[in-house]
Amino acid sequence: MASTRTPLIEVNFLDDYNINFVLSNTDVSIANALRKAIISEVPTIAIDLVEIEENSSVLADEFIAHRLGLIPLVSTRAMHADGPVPFRDVEGNITSFLWHHEASDDKDCEIKFELEVRNTEDNPMEVRLILIRLLEVLRHGGGVKPVEYDPEYPVVIAKLKRNQAIKLTAIAKKGVGKMHSKWSPASGVYFTYEPVVTINYERMEGLSAQQRKTWVEACPPGILRFNEMTGQVEVEDEINNGIAFSGECEKVAKELFGYDFYDLIVIKPKSGSDGYPDRFNFFVETNGALDPVTLVRAAIWELVRKVQNIEESLRTGEM
């Protein structure tokens, strides 16, 4: 087997909803597997069944039920007991939140919410997330509730006019993004390669200082700069990964100076010793169901679990 490469990670930025880290010394297929696991394989909790008792709002029953399903619920409760961040109840015991089809008792796999709103005033009223009441606390608690974003900008489920009302019970269950995107804890995940920018200085000789300056100004910012002193185009020290591979620089060069200048600049992903890119700049943004660190840890663990399942089958099959 070729030498096993050990991956490296450096975290560049971390806050309550975002994490930016660089994954290096590994293959793009692993980076992609991690990305897919973050989006679709990490279990979360979301409303899955809505029993509507009364709805005199302008929105249809299923419309409201759909919106309720999309509400992100704080899902640390759904973390696997064997995983990297198991959930501990008030006594410190590790308990699992079960899949709906494998639990024998409702309390181990369902969380019930209730929403009852009646507009008795003249003014139109907004049905906000805060009004959702946790009806039945799970056997072992869990802190499952709608994610609180900015209190100044509350999330609105519906709006009611005078004498309109909504009364419903909602049941939340465990699920993964693969089943329905409401269970996906990620609101934006992507990784970019690290760019290597090569300027063709021979081609550059064919341009005057003014032309070079025009080109640098027409290019998206963050890749090149024009040095007034030397009259040369230089590569920025901190390249903006997001725009580097868009092809804008090359396109602008062709538009301004003609097709001959298509190779004025070449931007390629930085490759490792085997000729393939091995540095990936990850950006993970969560919707609040899980914090970014727990999310990435859980995603890595889900990949391990997948491999373990197959290994187990391989072993028992040989018996």
Applying CB under 8 A, which residues contact other proteins? 1-2, 4-12, 14, 21, 23, 26-27, 29-30, 32-34, 36-37, 41, 84, 99-102, 175-176, 178-180, 293, 296-297, 300-301, 303-304, 306-314, 316-319
C-beta closer to other proteins: residue 116 or 285: 285
| The amino acid at 89 | D
C-beta closer to other proteins: residue 22 or 52: 22
C-beta closer to other proteins: residue 125 or 293: 293
C-beta closer to other proteins: residue 24 or 164: 24
Dihedral of the CA atoms 114, 43, 150, 190 (nearest 10)?
-150
| The amino acid at 119 | N
CA distances from 313 to 97, 304, 308, 318 (A): 25, 14, 9, 9
In DSSP terms, 118 is beta-bridged to 165
In DSSP terms, 268 is beta-bridged to 196
Q: How far is the CB of 195 from other proteins (least distance, A)?
A: 22
Q: How far is the CB of 236 from other proteins (least distance, A)?
A: 24
Identify the three-state secondary structure at position 100: helix
Q: Name the residue among 29, 28, 10, 31 with its Cα closest to residue 19.
A: 10
Q: How far is the CB of 52 from other proteins (least distance, A)?
A: 22
Q: How far is the CB of 101 from other proteins (least distance, A)?
A: 5
Residue linked to tokens 């590994």:
26
- Cβ-count burial of 2 within 10 angstroms (0-12 exposed, 13-18 middle, 19+ buried)? exposed
Identify the three-state secondary structure at position 74: coil
Q: How far is the CB of 84 from other proteins (least distance, A)?
A: 6
Q: How far is the CB of 112 from other proteins (least distance, A)?
A: 18
Q: How far is the CB of 297 from other proteins (least distance, A)?
A: 6
C-beta closer to other proteins: residue 133 or 180: 180
C-beta closer to other proteins: residue 225 or 297: 297
- Cβ-count burial of 7 within 10 angstroms (0-12 exposed, 13-18 middle, 19+ buried)? middle
C-beta closer to other proteins: residue 203 or 305: 305
Identify the three-state secondary structure at position 283: strand
